[in-house]
Amino acid sequence: MKHILITGSTDGIGKLLALRLANEGHFVAIHGRDTTKLLATLAEIKTASNNENVIGFLANFSDLEAVKKMAIDVEKQMPIIDILINNAGLFMSKNASTASGIDARLVVNYLAPYQLTAAIVPLFKKAEAPRIINLSSAAQAPVSLEALQKNIGLGANEAYAQSKLAFTMWSFSLAKQEPSITVVAVNPGSLLDTKMAKEAYGQHWSPAEKGVAILYDLALTDLAETGTYYDNDKGFYSEAHPDAYDSNKISTLIQLTKGLLSN
């Protein structure tokens, strides 16, 4: 039995993956931002899987204080983490910027999972072969350090692509920093049949199960290779954006990130 935490798992591929893992008897922690939806999903997964080892965490990832509190809750309720799947993501948003003034996509897709993961690293150290699977995207664009510090009016596509490159750059950095943890960045597939794709584009190219399958394989089989980017559109490990291999740009990004999160 593995102890697995999946963020953004009250719908989409996160929920489908949580159900699959619960069916196999793993200890599964799900996460959502809406209390009613979280409780309903918890009940649904427990009933469908006949597995009582399913717990839930509540946090709106656009609020970094809420993420901080969630990390404390995780430390209290999970003695160990074998696998973390940083799946929570945002593309369309009614409120483009957060209370801090930073674009919501940069916060939800990068700063929040960075903060959560950094806070719970000790729990991975208790596992034999810990893994972190970070959901990247085929959409990756050079990160505006200015945008990470204040709202400069990025469009949805631009903010999303920047957040996913930042996430990938950090994944590669974390893999080097924590050699005992396998860290993989993955594009689970473009325009999967999920709520995010429908809201953004009104269409999909592939079934959600395509994304579920690759996340499962990276989490639980020998497919995972640390410090890499898996492109599920291609079906193999691939090259991420060139900036993800630029040690100076990565170092600058991480230093800025640490500064932002220490405030």
Range 1-9 average pLDDT: 97
Does residue 180 have a pLDDT over 80? Answer: yes
Cβ–Cβ < 8 Å for 12, 194: yes
Does residue 196 have a pLDDT over 90? Answer: no
C-alpha R_g of the chain: 17
pLDDT grade for 201, boundaries at 50, 70 and 90 = very low
Distance CA 168, CA 93 (A): 22
Domain boundaries along the sequence of the chain: 3-262
Cβ–Cβ < 8 Å for 167, 257: no
Q: Mean pLDDT lowest for which of 151-155, 159-163, 198-202?
A: 198-202
% of the chain at pLDDT higher than 90: 80
| C-alpha 212: how far from chain center | 14
Range 243-248 average pLDDT: 98
Give first-to-last CA distance, the chain, whole Å.
38
- Measured CA distances, 62 to 35, 49, 110, 227, 241 (Å): 16, 31, 10, 27, 25
CATH code given to domain 3-262: 3.40.50.720
Give 130-154 pLDDT, tens digit per residue.
999 999 999 999 999 999 998 677 8
> Measuring CA to CA, which residue among 59, 156, 170, 68 is closest to residue 110?
170
| Backbone phi and psi for residue 54, each to the nearest 5 degrees, phi listed first | -130, 120
> Measuring CA to CA, which residue among 252, 247, 244, 263 is closest to residue 134?
244
Range 40-59 average pLDDT: 98
Distance CA 259, CA 263 (A): 7
Distance CA 235, CA 254 (A): 29
Does residue 97 have a pLDDT over 80? Answer: no
Element (H, E) at 85: strand 83-86
Q: What is the pLDDT of residue 99?
A: 56
